Amino acid sequence: MALVKKRQPLVKKRQPSLPQLRAFAAVAEHLHFRDAAAAMGMSQPALSGAVSALEETLGVTLLERTTRKVLLSPAGERLAVRARAVLDEVSALMEEAEAVRAPFTGVLRLGVIPTVAPYLLPTVIGLVHDRYPALDLQVHEEQTANLLEGLTTGRLDLLLLAVPLGVPGVTELPLFDEDFVLVTPLDHWLGGREGIPREALRELNLLLLDEGHCLRDQALDICWEAGRADAPVTTTAAGLSTLVQLVAGGLGVTLLPRTAVKVETSRSNQLRTGYFSEPAPARRVALAMRVGTARGDEYAELAGALRDALRPLPVRVL
């Protein structure tokens, strides 16, 4: 019968404590127990005891003690450098933790959809610079699906995009509603008109963004609500700037959110705008964050500040 060798239990090595390291570092700096004790705000016996306990834990002699002065042993000289480095790292750790606890500090990775970014980012960036100067804002412009993937995986912290999303685990912080405006060529019969009925969209050659843009889906929804059964897709564009230039060239009409109208229509003198009758087709823009995020209170406060900052724009702040 084979004998089974009994496994010996692992012996956990003792670890030096931070008070011991601080005591040793103080003595190594002052080379005097009384001065080191005064610097540490503790008694000489307590300081001496902490250093002795550290020597016992490490198994080396750190100090050469005489009746007149204190010297570092060769081991003490080497380990004093290590002890100081450990204490510096602990101090840096505490400072970093304090910075993390402080609101509106550190990195904020903000994801923005392309049909919002050019028109709202000046306001967002100005707000952050003026009100939250310690916040490191990093902007990522992507389509909605990529932004949601980034939020749920932790690659992004906060999103600025059109809602509703209807995504589990994501909380929306509504900012504003904005109407859609009809953009037409200069000689179009609806150019410059107000009170345009939605039903007019049934017969228009509507130019849309490429698939993947939420604005495309919103435009299609508006058409279907107006009673248009077919998808009015003949020509598409990757961005609103290109879309507007296609309209200026007479290829059709398009829908722009009000925040984009001033920027995009200023690029050409061959464009006119028309406005729908109430209630006009509109979209809602919001911030979106993960449910239960540790910075939820910060993001809610940021949403409130952003609503105030957006009031000069042609939107209905919520």
Taking alpha carbons only, the member of 141, 137, 152 closest to residue 115 is 141
**Rounded percentage of the chain residues whose pLDDT exceeds 70:** 92
d(CA 135, CA 158): 13
pLDDT, tens digit, 9 for 90 and up, residues 4-60? 555 655 556 788 999 999 999 999 988 888 888 888 888 989 989 999 999 999 999
The CATH architecture of the domain made up of 18-101 is Orthogonal Bundle (1.10)
φ/ψ of 280, rounded to 5, equals -70, 150
Domain with CATH 3.40.190.10 in the chain: 106-175+284-317, 177-282
Rounded Cα distance, 62 and 177, in Å:
70
Which residue is it, tokens 């984009």?
Answer: 260
| pLDDT score at 217 | 79
Mean pLDDT of 243-262: 91
The whole-number pLDDT of residue 36 equals: 87
pLDDT of residue 221: 79
Instruction: Find, among 200, 246, 241, 249, the residue nearest to 222 by Cα.
Output: 200
pLDDT tens per residue, range 107-149 = 899 999 999 999 999 999 999 999 999 999 999 999 999 999 9
Q: What pLDDT is stored for residue 303 in this prediction?
A: 97
What pLDDT does residue 150 have? Answer: 93
Tell me where in the chain the CATH 1.10.10.10 domain(s) lie.
18-101
Give strand pairing partners of 255.
182
Q: Note the pLDDT of residue 175.
A: 97
Alpha-carbon separation of residue 291 from 146, 202, 297 (angstroms): 18, 40, 12
pLDDT tier for residue 259 given thresholds of 50, 70 and 90: very high
For 147-159, what is the mean pLDDT? 93
The predicted structure's pLDDT at residue 8: 57
Give the model confidence (pLDDT) of 58-113 as tens digits.
Answer: 999 999 877 677 899 999 999 999 999 998 888 878 767 766 677 888 889 999 99
> Looking at domain 177-282, does it have CATH number 3.10.20.30?
no
Residues 6+ apart with CB under 8 A from 182: 190, 196, 253, 254, 255, 273, 274, 275, 276
pTM here is: 0.71
Give the pLDDT of residue 310: 96
CB half-sphere exposure, 72, CA atoms < 13 A: 16
Please enumerate in sequence order all residues whose Cβ is within 8 A of that of 261, keeping only pairs 6 or more positions apart, or say none.
181, 183, 273, 314
Token readout for 295 is: 């910075």
Question: With helix as H, strand as E and coil as C, how does 275-305 read?
Answer: EECCCCCEEEEEEEEECCCCCHHHHHHHHHH
* 276 or 216, which is more confident: 276
Provide the pLDDT confidence category of residue 239 given band limits of 50, 70 and 90.
confident
The architecture of the domain spanning 106-175+284-317 is: 3-Layer(aba) Sandwich (3.40)
